[in-house]
Amino acid sequence: MNRSTVIPFGPQHPVLPEPLHIKFVVEDETVVQAVPQLGFVHRGLESLVRTKDFNQMVFVVERICGICSCIHANCYCNAIEDMLGVTAPPRAQFLRVIWSELHRIHSHLLWLGLFADAFGFESVFHQFWRIREHVMDICEATAGNRVILSINVVGGVRRDLNLDQINWMLGELDKIENGMRELTRTMLDDYTVQERTRGIGVLSKDDARLLGAVGPTLRGSGWECDERMHGYAAYKELNFVPVVEHDGDCYARCKVRFNETLHAIELVREALNRLPESELTVKLPGNPDGESVFRVEQPRGELFYYVRANGSKMLERMRVRTPTFANIPPLLAMLPGCKLPDVPVIVLSIDPCISCTER
Amino acid sequence: MGFVENMIKKSRLKSPWIVHFDCGSCNGCDIEVLACLTPMYDVERFGVVNTGNPKHADVLLVTGTVNHRNRHVLKQIYEQMPEPKAVVSIGACNLSGGVFKDSYNILNGAHTVIPVDVFVPGCPPKPEAIIDGVVTALNALAAKMGLGPAPGAALMPGDEDAPKAAAVG
């Protein structure tokens, strides 16, 4: 006879720093149902558009998520620029790509470390975070802050890179890449890691599409889908190729992120070498009026912004759809049938960002 | 008996165990708290251990905006910690609500829910500032154990009724 037990996971849980609460209904060691409860991180952020003007909102949207703040601001600024009918100058477009990709590198390194920690491989967690400090150093030296960079403004960027900084950054990028290549064998070719991740939390190719997965979760299931392929900012001029894996399990998602980190290093290097000369900002023609939609690729997947304005300084409405929100239905489909010790691994495999989702 | 008690007190100060609770942060402060534990800063070499269990912890690190839903969780975690205990409030959102201060469901800081010993300002504060905050909290902890003077008290800027706490960073 099966007796079901309810095990609460969170809101304060060692494996996930964020307050997410999931109730797991388990029979013996097998999870039969997962019920998420949200709202711990709700800050009422979208309502702030009525009290802060559209230039100040850049700083608020950056604080939706500290891990990919630059990409949030990039998406918001692009949406407003579309509405105003202006385009950021070429150098600003390249600088946006550089800082966005730096954020992607640090986000993926952070995730790879936490993922290794989730199945108890603590020394690899420390190794990845040691490499990550190089990215944080670059951010601090070029933008002035380690985590929240605040370099995007509507119409361009606020900071420039000089030749010394570019040369120093290229050297640091080499260190990051060497560190990653040294860890390839430890992370991807290791027997224990494969035992804990291969065949766990499988999301089939059809399910990934039907449930609306985005980002590495979708690309790990074999779909070649990345917003950067559409060529916003300077991606159309760079040599971008999406990273795809076909197994759809936790290992495939891990491999997508690992290879994407290496590809992001290439992108930053290419952008630094081909940085065009131009102004950093354009003059804005007035207040925004109308509606606009913009999509960019976050480390976790597709990020969507909708803004509506009425010609005044304040926006009328802003709506954000974040990748973790899209990845929760696939997650809930992956969990039933898994063993309880695999739950942290599967939950982390979609790279949940609760602060993005609940805002 | 007095000797053993003193030994336990000194050991708790020498190797403080911390528990970290993210109220509703943007993750900026959380990853900086985690960065303190990783090889670059590595507070574990000084005996600071990150524990997941509030019942084992001496110091509570709070980050993020406190809202009406998570303040009960914060209070519960604080109450589960054994006495004496110290609280470090990290980041602009946790000090006063930060950029979200005007929002409809935000309480203006963790000090409105639980007593805070040390405030670490910044958005997010650097790991060095967080480590400095924990060291200051240990002085507060020592004072609560009767082993030393309390750290210099400071009021939150523009907040007259804030509890007396040390500001670092």
Q: What are phi and psi of A325, to 5 degrees?
A: -60, -40
- pLDDT above 50 (res B162): no
Q: Which residue has the higher pLDDT, A12 or B28?
A: B28
Place of tokens 């997962």: A34
Q: Cα separation of B146 and B149, whole Å?
A: 8
Residue-wise pLDDT for A87-140, tens only, equals 888 899 899 899 999 999 999 998 888 888 888 888 888 888 889 889 998 988
Cα–Cα distance between B131 and A290 in angstroms, integer? Answer: 48
SS3 A353: coil
Position B165 pLDDT exceeds 60: no
Question: Hey, what's the torsion of the CAs at A89, A91, A93, A94, to 10 degrees?
Answer: 170
Q: Express each pLDDT in B89-108 by its tens digit.
A: 998 888 888 888 878 888 88
Q: What is the mean pLDDT of residues B121-128?
A: 87
Q: Give me the sign of the Cα torsion angle A207, A212, A215, A219.
A: positive
Cβ <8 Å between A42 and B124: no
The CATH classification number of B16-167 equals 3.40.50.12280
List, for residues A198-235, the tens digit of each pLDDT value: 888 888 888 888 888 888 888 888 888 888 888 787 88
| A146 interface with B at CB cutoff 8 Å | yes
What pLDDT, on the 0 to 100 scale, is given for residue A265? 92
Only one residue has tokens 């070499």, namely B45
Is the per-residue pLDDT at B157 higher than 50?
A: no
Q: Is A182 exposed, middle or buried (0-12, 13-18, 19+ CB in 10 A)?
A: exposed
Whether residue A13 lies within 8 A of chain B, CB to CB, comes out as yes
Confidence label for B126 from pLDDT (cuts 50, 70 and 90) = confident
Read off the pLDDT band of B153 (50, 70, 90).
low
Q: Which residue of B has its CA nearest to A60?
A: B99
Q: State residue B84's pLDDT score.
A: 85
Cα A100 from Cα A68, distance rounded (Å): 8
Q: List chain B residues with CB under 8 Å of A53.
A: none
Q: Which two tokens stand for residue B76?
A: 């519960």
Compute the average pLDDT of residues A63-81. 88
DSSP characters for A24-38?
A: EEEETTEEEEEEEE-
Residue A257 has pLDDT above 50, yes or no: yes
Set of chain A residues whose Cβ sits within 8 Å of the Cβ of B126: 146
Distance from CA of A357 to the nearest CA of B (A): 11
The whole-number average pLDDT for the span A230-256 is: 85
Q: How far apart are CA A104 and CA A339, in angstroms?
A: 31
DSSP SS3 for A153: strand
B142–chain A nearest CA distance, Å: 27
A53 touches chain B (CB under 8 A): no
How confident is the model at residue A61, as a pLDDT? Answer: 87
Instruction: Give the whole-angstrom CA distance, residue B133 versus residue B122.
Output: 12
The predicted structure's pLDDT at residue B156: 47
Tokens of A286: 């007035």
Terminal-residue alpha carbon distance, chain A: 43
- How is residue B127 written in tokens? 């790991």
Select the residue from B26, B65, B78 to test the A interface by mutation, using most A Cβ atoms within 10 A: B26
Long-range pairs for A228-234: beta carbons < 8 A, 24 or more residues apart: A228/A296, A228/A297, A230/A295, A232/A78, A232/A294, A232/A295, A232/A296, A233/A74, A233/A78, A233/A93, A233/A94, A233/A96, A233/A97, A233/A100, A233/A296, A234/A90, A234/A93, A234/A94, A234/A96, A234/A97, A234/A271
Place B152 in a pLDDT band, splitting at 50, 70 and 90. low
Q: What's the CA dihedral at A184, A189, A193, A195 to 10 degrees? A: 160
What type of residue sits at position A252?
A
How far is the C-alpha of A234 from the C-alpha of A17, rounded, in Å? Answer: 34
Smallest CA-to-CA distance from A320 within A285, A283, A284, A353 is with A353
A32-42: average pLDDT: 76
Q: Is the pLDDT higher at A170 or at A195?
A: A170
Cβ neighbors of B1 (< 8 A, separation 6 or more) are none
Residue B67 has pLDDT above 80, yes or no: yes
**Residue A156 confidence (pLDDT) above 60:** yes
Of residues A49, A56, A64, A43, the one with CA closest to residue B103:
A43
The percent of chain B in helix, strand and coil, each rounded to the nearest 5, is 40, 20, 40
In contact, B100 and B93? CB cutoff 8 Å: yes
Check A43 against B100: CB less than 8 A apart. yes
A65: pLDDT strictly greater than 80: yes
Of residues A15 and B52, more confidence is placed in B52
Is ipTM over 0.85? no
- Is there a contact between A44 and B23 if contact means CB atoms under 8 Å apart? no
**Is A19 in contact with A10 (CB distance < 8 Å)?**
yes
Domain ranges in chain A are 4-358
Cβ–Cβ gap B22/A18 under 8 Å:
yes
CB–CB of A248/A219 below 8 Å? no
Say how many CB pairs under 8 Å bridge A and B: 128
What is the overall mean pLDDT for chain B? Answer: 80
User: Would strands B66-67 and B106-107 be described as parallel, antiparallel, or unpaired?
Assistant: antiparallel
Side-chain-side CA neighbours of A237 within 13 Å: the count stands at 17
Interval B31-47 mean pLDDT: 84
Superfamily for the A4-358 domain: Cytochrome-c3 Hydrogenase, chain B (1.10.645.10)
